[in-house]
Amino acid sequence: MTTMLTSNLELTTGQKTQVLELINRNSDAPPALKELTRIAFGEGFDGRSPQGRAVKEYLATLCIKAGANGPKHVELTPENQLYIRNNFSTMSITEMARALFNKDVVMRNMAEYKVVESFLISINEKAYDPSLIIPRNEPFIPKTLDQAARLVNRCVFNAIDMKTLKKDTRIQNNLQTLVRYCHKMRYGMILSTLTEEKEIELFEHTFISNVWDKSDLSEEEIDTNINLACDVVNYTKMQKDIEKLREMRDKCLDDSEGKRLSMSLVQQIGELYKEMDNNFKRQNATTKALIGTRNERMEGRMKENASVSQLVEAWRDQQKRERMRAVAEKRKQLIRDEINRLDTLDTLKVEIFGLNRESFFD
């Protein structure tokens, strides 16, 4: 009589949900047990581990069989290759593989990941630098000018020409300042609190697009730009909340008991609209304050530069007058020398020419 080995582990509700979601997203080809185990327990576990057996036992209760673990052959079409060439500078291998093969989960050991990685290496080993890849689904703080430039291009379409980056000192100065802005503690703390990918992107896009080409911002202005980005994210959240409340309200209108409940939802929607209106007004006020403060500073600098230019111009005018005075004196000296030479001639000759000291220097 044989006994069946069972695992002492049991999946939590959250792990079961993760496993089911992955199976549902890949219903045409069930994921392998190893992949399901990693989704539930993380890296370092395979189907033969206690964690893997726990997943297998859970699948058995649902009459679901995991997919095969064998190697999968994947090829890139010409369109896939063009997509990789156009996006490898701003997307990770995982992101490109997910987009190309329409998969929600792609891991380093999967064929989809490896085929994209192999193609990148084949076109140009120097072109692919993992340190330059900016992840889209997690907070990212740039450390180098290249990383900062790619982050800017992701937030502001083609704002920087990567080919001329090393020659453009103005852009380099802007990027160096941007790296400093992004290393501000408050910026990193707020990024770490955002959990949804879209919220992270929206926060980054708002902040980066507003400050990347302004290397003269004060610490207070940086904080104000962070506040503005937070307001933009919160405004979007409130829009989503309103849509959810509307759906709940519409469902409650089907019966009389629900109508009383819908009144509280209507009140919540109204309060949320007020919050959105306040948020929107605050965004406008913040934007105007930032623009006004910087314009005043720029005007002050322009006046200072104008004053300096006037002094330089006046100095140049003085130099010009001095040169003209020197030339005039030189010409007078030449005339004096010529008169002295003529004075040595016969007095009659001098009178014929009509030259004498008194008439010239009167």
For residue 318 the two structure tokens come to 């003085």
Residue 245 has φ and ψ, to the nearest 5°, of -65, -35
Determine the pLDDT at residue 342: 59
**Cα–Cα distance, 188 to 140 (Å, whole number):** 9
For residue 308 the two structure tokens come to 């300096």
| pLDDT tens for each residue of 29-42 | 667 777 778 777 87
CB atoms within 10 A of CB 139: 16
| pLDDT tens for each residue of 95-127 | 888 888 887 777 776 778 888 888 887 876 545
| pLDDT tens for each residue of 287-340 | 888 887 767 766 666 666 655 666 666 666 666 677 777 777 887 788 777 767
pLDDT at 140 > cutoff 90: no
pTM over 0.85? The answer is no
pLDDT at 351 > cutoff 70: no
| pLDDT tens for each residue of 201-249 | 899 999 999 999 888 888 888 999 999 999 999 999 888 888 888 877 7
**Cα–Cα distance, 209 to 154 (Å, whole number):** 10
Smallest CA-to-CA distance from 80 within 114, 29, 119, 109 is with 119
Determine the pLDDT at residue 133: 57
Q: What percent of the chain has pLDDT over 70?
A: 69
**Cα–Cα distance, 357 to 362 (Å, whole number):** 8
